[in-house]
Amino acid sequence: MKKIFLFIFLFFGLTAVWSQTPAVKREVVGRDIGQLKGIKISGRITDEITAEALVGATVRIPELNLTRITDANGSFEFEVSRAEYTLEFRYVGYTTKIYPITAVGEGRLTIRMLQEDFTLDDVIIYGSDPEKNIRSTNMGAVTLSVNTMRELPPFMGEIDIVRSLATLPGVSQVGEASSGLNVRGGGVDQNLIQFAGAPIYNPSHMFGLFTAFNADMVNDVTLYKAVVPSRFGGRSSAILDIIPKAGSVDKWGGDLMASNFSGKLSLNGPLIKDKVSIIGGFRISYINWLLQSLSNTTLNNSKANFYDGNLVISAPLTENNEFTYSYYTSYDDFAFASDTTISWQNNAHSLQWKSKLSEKLKMETLGFYSLYEYGIFNQSGLNNFEINSDIKDMGGKTFLNYTLSPTQSFTFGAEYKQVAIQPGELVPTGTSEDVLPKKVQNEAGREMAAHFQHELEIGEKIGLSYGLRYDLYQYLGARTVRTYQEGTPVSDGSAIGETNYGEKELIQTYDGLAPRASFRYSFSKASSVKLGYNKMYQFIHLISNTATIAPSDVWKLSDGFLKPQIADQFSLGYYNNFKGNIFETSVEVYYKDLQNVVEYKDGANLILQNHIETELIPAKGQSYGLELYVKKNLGILTGWISYTYSRSLRRVITPFEEENINNGTWYASNFDKPHDLTLIGNYKVSTNTSISATFAYSTGRPVTFPEAKFDFSGNNLAYFKDRNQQRLPDFHRLDFSVNFKLKGEGKFFDGDWTFSVLNVYGRKNPFSIFFDDAPQQPPQAFRLALLGIPLPSLSYAISF
Amino acid sequence: MLKRLVFLLLILPMACVDPYEVEVPEGEQLLTVEGIISTGPGPHAITLSRSATYGSIFEGLIRPVTLATVVVRDNEGNITFLTEGVDNLKGSYFTPANFRAQVGKSYALQIRTAEGKVYTSTPERVAAVPAIQSLNIRTVTVPTEGSAVPKSGIQLLVELRDPADENNFYYWRNGPAVYILETRPDLYTPRPTPQNPDKRPQPKDCCVQCFRYEASNNQSLFVVNDDNFNGLSTRIPASFIADDGIRFVNKFRMDLKQYSISLGAYRFLRMVKQQAEISGSIFDPPPANLRGNMISLDNPDEVVLGYFMAGGETTRRIYVDKNDLTFKQNRAIIPDDCRVISGAFIDPPADWKP
């Protein structure tokens, strides 16, 4: 004990000096009593700000090639001989400390490490476990914290959650204005996007130019793309789980940001000190205001509004029980030089109860209600109308997690959800009665699930996680269901009868077992191999004729004609970390088989269709790929390289030859982009300035070019034969941003300037190529580039 | 200046559409059929042509299929032979002038080409068409990029009473038009020649006003089903006539034809319209294979483009006065005798009764 007192926190307070001056004075450790060997040096590493122990940090003595990892207390210990050493302290997301010492006797060090992120946010950057990618048995779960996303060049001054995820291997987007993500060859509707546990149907503003989630309100985002834990289901490709931030229980504060496109404000603080916290945020665009101030008539007749808002109330009522209420809303309306306005709105409420029933048994229960409404409004003065649609989701889920031992845990639970879709109602809004109101039949369904998961570790090397989910789905009335003549394609002409089902009457049931399993073998602490299998069912389909999630799309529940989508996925991966987790690398391969994917018939009419089965055909799908990933976690230069080679294919074979697509052969899906490369770098120039850049390259997406042209009614028309046989030119784009932290006097001047340029070299990446034969002009292919010029943006953000 | 800066930073101008070189597959020369036979007065025309490679230099050149034998056969076995036109009407085949399709009957088109290949359409049933109750006009303007004056024209609004008991599909075509052409012979200035080096106007005495005949232009397709107005009286845009600065300076007259067509023809035309209106926007539907109703009897796999239609027809005439337009293009000045303009005559048509 005495000895410890002799060495009282030698390094207290020196950290700030070290982080800025590389020449650190060599410190003498220990009382010199002439000891030569077996000098015990121990210590504890904590966070400079929160004083929390840093578990799993590395302490290294390069002279002896000795490395220690801190234990659950953040403590470490080693024995050295009397000599001079250079201690290195590393922890993911923290500034590395180099600390020269002369060891002369036993001593204890207190090391306080500062988070690398110079904004000093209270969010942990990369998660607390630097070897999580190696040790976790679950495959293909990627968590991005908002702080990681901050290092990417912002999109129009904003951190974009969806776009950030698209930089990861195996995740892509169709084009520059596309809502949602394509995960491992799946469609955008095959991802379950949930905000605080409530499903969100349209995650975008302005058709995907912005993500509809305010990053100031988000703590982190987890994407499950390979093996999904059995407590998730209902979509066949991936789960995107967005966890909102909680407010401070301690003091009031907030964030304010203004960019040249939008502004946002958030406030958070204690409603009841140390008990109940609240956080609220609002973001609004002023693009509309800018449009109105222009003299150009096209732009003047255009409008584009959006906003989103969040409210989260967290109440840790007792030590073991915590309630969280979250409300999320987003709104958009859009008109481009026309009388037709398109609008959509998301609303989601959820209430979560987390309870620690005992040391080993934990429970989480969640109830949610979400409403997605969208509409098209025609105010041309002639036949004015509006078409409204909405989707209501309501349900609850609960699960228990029992920790049998540090190496074994069980999770089991159940879920119930009811979905009601109003696919479209046309309401005349004009004065004269010249349009008939029309309402497409409502749809209703129920999804139920029970699940179980067992995770265990066998020794140091082997990890196993397996689970089973039982999905039960019921399609309910009231509804009029047609019967079609057998042996002919389903069409308006082949309908031979109708059956009327009453309210809540069962029309169709589907069920299935969805096993999930993954296995890990660790070669060492820094390398492992994992194997996974995953099956998922999906009972709701996005029927879309366009490449983006738009209000003209139809969400459709599985019924007697449209069977649930089923995905089977096999994956294999090798993971290796180098240099004390500074470098993370992985190689993954996967194969995915999809059944009952929806394809549309030629010239399908999707809007206001009472019997949409006449416009659709089921397809088979398969996708496979190889994903490479190298990430540098620490240092002045951080970032990652991800490369994916993948294919996503579809095939349509029906009993009727005329309905087959491309003669029943496999063809590329709309988002098949074989090569996909992303390079991301973030360079810290100084403590208050950083620059970052993103380069993305991918093969152009498949398109259909005309085989021939012919003349009809004075129009030169194109004859298209097979779908998706050609490709757009390759996509590549460089984005760049500079972040500068102003350290001025007073709150307002203590903020962050971010200047960014999207598409630095002005590449005109085509969103589409189309053919037009304008009169008096030679026939020509045209390219639509949504982002054809370098696009600068500037934003200023302050925290208070 | 600030506004310009704002403009620059805005997101809308960042999108752009520009011409682009692509390689399109070598096109097949597919037989293309276009035409409608109707209950209206004949002759009715069926046009046969061949498709070309998309974007080929032969663009605009119609490649007529000549010397074919074309007949229309009804469900009672009556056969009507069509005769090929001459000169620039080659490739178009006409029914006798007294031929009229009859409501309730089905008609099929049969073709034997000069090479001996045989094609037929599936039968098309002729449905009755309700009369056009009234015809009104509405001025429409289209904001145009890079131009202070928007493009404009008139839209014809058809009022019709839809029969309630059946599913109806309507298709409108512009018939021939006549309008009063006004020129400025007083400004006539011939190109200076050695014989006549004078560069000043050399006014002609005549004529300021002519009647000019115009062939019908049907580039914009107007087609609708009655899902939204079954059994109602409704007003529907049925035609668009562009204002070229000449047509609407005095009086304009046109015959609008209204057809009832089959579900198959409606679907085909809707897809044609969909394709003709593609703008490359993010909401564009993916290209669809336009499947018509013609089949090759020699080779069922052979693709035949186009559609043979049969339908009821009704016509209504409208006179449009210059004062009916709420917005007009600047008047075009033609510095010559109006009679030298093609299709222009000094005498009014016999039935000119504005």
A152 in Cβ contact with A691 (< 8 Å): no
pLDDT value for B8: 40
State the amino acid at position B215 in one-letter form. Answer: A
DSSP string for residues in B217-244: ---S-EEEEGGGTTTSEEEEEEEEEE--
pLDDT-based confidence at B111, cuts 50/70/90? Answer: very high
Tens digit of pLDDT for each residue in A95-123? 788 888 888 777 778 788 877 653 333 23
Which of 183-212 (A) contact B at CB < 8 A?
A: 206-207, 209
| Extended beta strands in B126-193, E state | 132-142, 151-161, 169-182
Residues in A touching B221 (Cβ below 8 Å)? 713, 715
Cα of B289 to nearest chain A Cα, Å: 5
DSSP string for residues in B250-264: SEEEEEEEEEE--HH
pLDDT value for A294: 59
Which of 640-659 (A) contact B at CB < 8 A?
A: 658
Residues in B touching A786 (Cβ below 8 Å)? 14-15, 282
Task: Tokens 């049998």: give the residue.
Answer: A404
Residues in B touching A785 (Cβ below 8 Å)? 15-18
Most B CBs within 10 Å, among A543, A548, A719, to test the B interface: A719
Contact across the interface for B3 and A294, Cβ inside 8 Å: yes
pLDDT-based confidence at A379, cuts 50/70/90? Answer: confident
More confident residue, A720 or A558: A558
Average pLDDT of A260-281? 89
Residues in A touching B64 (Cβ below 8 Å)? none
pLDDT > 70: what percent of chain A? 87
Between CA A383 and CA B235 the distance in angstroms is 8
- Asked if A753 reaches chain B (Cβ–Cβ under 8 Å), the answer is no
- Asked if A797 reaches chain B (Cβ–Cβ under 8 Å), the answer is no
Residue B12 has pLDDT above 50, yes or no: no
The CA-based angle A778-A782-A783, given to 5 degrees, is: 160
Average pLDDT of B83-91? 88
Residue B101 has pLDDT above 80, yes or no: yes
State the amino acid at position A79 in one-letter form. Answer: E
Average pLDDT of A297-309? 76
Distant-in-sequence, close-in-space partners of A259: CB < 8 Å, separation ≥ 6: A156, A157, A158, A793, A794, A795, A796
Most B CBs within 10 Å, among A609, A712, A773, A789, to test the B interface: A712
Question: What mean pLDDT is reported for chain A?
Answer: 83
pLDDT-based confidence at A777, cuts 50/70/90? Answer: low
Between CA B105 and CA B41 the distance in angstroms is 17
Between CA A139 and CA A531 the distance in angstroms is 8
Q: Where are the alpha helices (DSSP H) in chain B?
A: 2-9, 263-276
Tens digit of pLDDT for each residue in A316-352? 878 888 899 999 999 998 876 566 788 899 999 999 9
- Asked if A466 reaches chain B (Cβ–Cβ under 8 Å), the answer is no
Contact across the interface for B234 and A605, Cβ inside 8 Å: no
Cα of A675 to nearest chain B Cα, Å: 21
Tens digit of pLDDT for each residue in A447-475? 999 999 999 999 889 999 999 999 999 99
pLDDT value for B9: 42
Chain B residue nearest residue A335, CA to CA: B12
The number of C-alpha atoms within 13 Å of B242 and in the hemisphere containing its C-beta is 10
Residue B309 has pLDDT above 90, yes or no: yes
pLDDT value for A60: 87
Alpha carbon distances (Å) from A14 to A112, A116, A222, B228: 9, 16, 37, 78
Tens digit of pLDDT for each residue in B194-217? 888 888 888 888 888 999 998 877
pLDDT > 90: what percent of chain B? 44
Residue A590 has pLDDT above 90, yes or no: yes
Contact across the interface for A603 and B20, Cβ inside 8 Å: no
- Asked if A789 reaches chain B (Cβ–Cβ under 8 Å), the answer is yes
Residues in A touching B272 (Cβ below 8 Å)? 712-713, 715, 717
- Tell me the range of A702-711, B91-100, B147-156 where mean pLDDT is highest: B91-100
pLDDT-based confidence at A23, cuts 50/70/90? Answer: very low
Q: A741 pairs with which residues across the strands?
A: A752
Residue A685 has pLDDT above 90, yes or no: no
Residue B286 has pLDDT above 70, yes or no: no
pLDDT value for B7: 42
Residue A622 has pLDDT above 90, yes or no: yes
Chain B residue nearest residue A702, CA to CA: B286
Strand A715-719 and strand A751-758: the pairing is unpaired
- Asked if A713 reaches chain B (Cβ–Cβ under 8 Å), the answer is yes
DSSP string for residues in A589-630: EEEEEEEEEEEE-TT---TT-TTGGGGEEEEEEEEEEEEEEE
Task: Tokens 């001047």: give the residue.
Answer: A749
pLDDT value for B5: 38
pLDDT value for A50: 65
Cα of B349 to nearest chain A Cα, Å: 26
Between CA A449 and CA A426 the distance in angstroms is 35
pLDDT value for A10: 30
- Which residue of B9, B218, B235 is in closest CB contact with A434? B235
Short-list A459, A574, A571, A456, CA closest to A526: A574
The tokens for B6 are: 């704002």
Query: What is the pTM (predicted TM-score) of this model?
Result: 0.76
Short-list A708, A617, A625, CA closest to A664: A617
Alpha carbon distances (Å) from B216 to B177, B255, B353: 7, 9, 20
Average pLDDT of B296-324? 92
Instruction: Report the range of poorest mean pLDDT among A681-695, A701-715, A750-764.
Output: A701-715
pLDDT-based confidence at A14, cuts 50/70/90? Answer: very low
State the amino acid at position A347 in one-letter form. Answer: N
Tens digit of pLDDT for each residue in A185-241? 888 889 999 999 999 998 888 777 788 898 888 888 889 998 999 999 999 999 999
* Dihedral (Cα; A514, A515, A516, A518), 10-degree rounding: -160
Between CA A690 and CA A710 the distance in angstroms is 57
What secondary structure letter does DSSP report for A14? T
- Asked if A287 reaches chain B (Cβ–Cβ under 8 Å), the answer is yes
Alpha carbon distances (Å) from A519 to A377, A407, A534, A536, B264: 52, 14, 12, 18, 56
Q: B71 pairs with which residues across the strands?
A: B81, B110
Between CA B57 and CA A190 the distance in angstroms is 44
Contact across the interface for B34 and A713, Cβ inside 8 Å: yes
Residue B282 has pLDDT above 70, yes or no: no
Q: Between A and B, how many residue pairs show a Cβ–Cβ distance under 8 A?
A: 249
Residues in B touching A547 (Cβ below 8 Å)? 282
Contact across the interface for A705 and B303, Cβ inside 8 Å: no
Residues in A touching B301 (Cβ below 8 Å)? none
Contact across the interface for A299 and B10, Cβ inside 8 Å: yes
Between CA A540 and CA A446 the distance in angstroms is 11
- Tell me the range of A119-123, A139-143, A623-627, A778-782 where mean pLDDT is highest: A623-627
Short-list A206, A185, A301, A337, CA closest to A644: A185
Alpha carbon distances (Å) from A63 to A81, A86, A98, A459, A577: 11, 7, 13, 32, 22
- Which residue of B21, B25, B284 is in closest CB contact with A768? B284
pLDDT value for A119: 37
Contact across the interface for A784 and B281, Cβ inside 8 Å: yes
Strand B305-321 and strand B31-38: the pairing is parallel
Between CA A15 and CA A9 the distance in angstroms is 12
The tokens for A297 are: 């008539």
